Amino acid sequence: MIENIKPMDIEKRSFEIISELLGDKVLDPQNELVIKRAIHTTADFDYADNLVFSENAVAKGIEALRSGCDIVTDTQMAKSGINKTILGKLGGTVHCFMSDADVAEEAKQRGITRAIVSMERAAALPKPCIFAIGNAPTALIALHGMIEAGKLSPALIIGVPVGFVNVVESKEALFAACAAHGVPAIAAMGRKGGSNVAAAICNALIYSASEMLDPAARGWRG
């Protein structure tokens, strides 16, 4: 039977269904909202198992957002999916350098990916940043190198690129480097992920930081 749901109640009902379908599975209360929003975005319950979190990563991400940090993404799709209005109210903005003509030119001249050049540009930003990577494993590899060299200390890294080439390896290497250097991290281990997942995790943190988990608080009306 088709449910008659008001627009403002669709998200709430979706999360109720997710909780029902998770059954007896117990999620860490600190990470629950992030995991459920990833599932909400993808309808993929594997994220209940493959999302891993460094200690207090969610709390540290929320704290950084409340302090006005920016977000860096590796795709315009992720940038589009992040709620920039609410992020702006917290004092932050979203950066994506992937489409910049000078980034493409430099990458071509150096024989490297645009993602690497983009991460180098982002490392020079004057504000603390959350890095949300949903597409390019080379972005994670670049971040790994800068963290290991002591050149970068992000507020949080969200490492959820999707695919086959260096995807698993880059996530594992980055998560280990973050653990070794005290950088908060959230990663989707394995091959799954994507720009939509990166944006969903960012939004979970943004809504928590702004105390707008209720869709009505974000302007939804029935």
The answer to whether residue 108 is domain-embedded is yes
Residue 217: the pLDDT is: 65
The answer to whether residue 14 is domain-embedded is no
Between CA 146 and CA 42, with CA 118 as vertex, the angle to 5 degrees is: 100
Residue 222: the pLDDT is: 43
Residue 150: the pLDDT is: 93
The answer to whether residue 119 is domain-embedded is yes
The answer to whether residue 39 is domain-embedded is no
State how far the Cα of 123 lies from the Cα of 158, in Å rounded to an integer. Answer: 15
The answer to whether residue 115 is domain-embedded is yes
**Which of 58, 55, 117, 62 shows the shortest CA–CA distance to 92?**
62
Number of domains in the chain: 1
40 is catalytic: yes
Q: Tokens representing 207?
A: 């809504």
The answer to whether residue 23 is domain-embedded is no
Contacts of 216 (CB under 8 A, 6+ apart): 8
Residue 5: the pLDDT is: 79
Question: Do the Cβ atoms of 129 and 70 come closer than 8 Å?
Answer: yes
The answer to whether residue 34 is domain-embedded is no
Contacts 24+ apart (CB under 8 A), 176-179: 177/144, 177/147, 177/148, 178/54, 178/147, 179/54
Residue 6 belongs to what H/E stretch? Answer: none
The answer to whether residue 3 is domain-embedded is no
Structural domain that includes position 182: 49-213
**Residue 149 maps to which CATH number?**
3.40.50.10230
User: Average pLDDT by consecutive 10-residue portion of the chain (222 residues)?
Assistant: 80 92 94 96 97 97 97 96 95 96 95 95 94 96 95 96 95 96 97 97 96 66 44
